């Protein structure tokens, strides 16, 4: 047999349900934000690595002693 709940108990149950839902939603939001920040940091780290590689390549080209002034062409004349 079903018993009627008092209004205060119903209200407490509803508030507990909303509180649980809010905590769950906050956890979902927190997880999503954590993943977004991780992705942003990974992208930033990747871009920094690419920039460093390009800078090192450029510095290598600028400061490498040019032993063959005309490139890699062979200058033999027969």
Q: What percent of the chain has pLDDT over 90?
A: 37
What residue spans define the domains of the chain? 36-60
pTM for this one? 0.49
**Tokens encoding 19:** 């509180």
Compute the C-alpha angle 65/66/72, nearest 5°. 140
- For residue 59, with 0-12 CB atoms within 10 Å meaning exposed, 13-18 middle and 19 or more buried, which class applies? exposed
Please give the mean pLDDT across all residues of the chain. 80
Q: Could you give the 3-state DSSP secondary structure of residue 62?
A: helix
- pLDDT, tens digit, 9 for 90 and up, residues 22-50: 788 888 888 999 999 999 999 999 999 99
Residues in the chain: 78
């Amino acid at each position: 047999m079903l018993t009627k709940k008092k209004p205060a108990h119903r209200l407490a149950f509803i508030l507990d349900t909303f509180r649980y839902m809010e905590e769950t939603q906050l956890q979902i939001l927190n997880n999503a934000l954590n993943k977004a920040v991780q992705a942003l940091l990974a992208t930033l780290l990747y871009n920094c690595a690419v920039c460093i590689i390009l800078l090192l390549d450029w510095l290598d080209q600028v400061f490498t002693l040019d032993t063959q002034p005309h490139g890699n062409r062979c200058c033999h004349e027969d």
